[in-house]
Amino acid sequence: MTETTEKKKKLLGKDLTRMIVIVAMLAALSYVCFTFIQFKIPIGGGDYTSLHLGNMVPVLGALLFGGVWGGLGGSIGMTIGDLFDPVYVVYAPRTFVLKFFIGLITGLVAHKGFKIKTIPAGKKRTVATLVSAFCGLAFNAIVEPIFKYFYAILVLGKPAAEVTLAWNIAACVINGVVSLVVATLLYLALRPALEKAKLLK
């Protein structure tokens, strides 16, 4: 084994450990934002929708560290939140998939599309951040109410499903707008500090 190969393996090990720690931190943050910064709204039939900041975390994580890592952190945290909540426990598998895709889509647009790491501070970076975050959150705002609608048809019947659909769409849009603004502001504020600390690679 050459010296270069050994160095690469050591570097990969350090990077992997760093990213596992980052995912764990994002998961903890998403759990807190979803569980404790949440306002539940009863929508009939024993079902609820909620206003929360959880969706902000996979977006922020994806912008800073890439779609896979950001998506994992956000989805793990909110899935744990679902598992500990008797209202949302049945939605845990859906949460994991949808929140992962929020991060994945945001990351793909930001890092593969805009190559956001190469954009200097200014208007272009702000636009790239907003568009990337919008793409991930728009996916969730479209798919999540549809999923809940068909789930409600199976469990509650069509009339109740139609009522809950309107509430779920409204909640997803509000959550999306708030998450878009908060994630963008946090990314633009945190990126220079994290770059200075050499935490973004």
Give the residue numbers spanning the domain of 155: 16-37+49-196
CATH number at residue 115: 1.10.1760.20
Ramachandran region, residue 110 (left: φ > 0; alpha: ψ -120 to 50; beta: rest): alpha
Is the residue at 5 inside a domain?
A: no
Q: What pLDDT does residue 51 have?
A: 94
Distance, in Å, from the CA atom of 73 to the CA atom of 24, rounded to the nearest integer, reads 6
Q: Does residue 7 lie in a domain region?
A: no
Any domain includes 133: yes
Is residue 97 situated within a structural domain? yes
pLDDT values of the chain reduced to their tens digit, one per residue, 201 residues: 565 665 555 545 668 888 999 999 999 999 999 999 999 988 766 678 899 999 999 999 999 999 999 999 999 999 999 999 998 898 899 999 999 999 999 999 999 999 999 999 999 999 999 999 999 999 999 999 998 888 777 765 666 677 778 888 999 999 999 999 999 999 999 999 999 988 886
For residue 10, is it within any domain? no
Q: Is residue 190 in a domain?
A: yes
Domain total in the chain: 1
| Long-range interactions of 188-194: CB distance < 8 A, separation 24+ | 188/121, 188/125, 188/126, 188/129, 190/60, 190/64, 191/64, 192/121, 194/64
Residue 4 lies in a domain: no
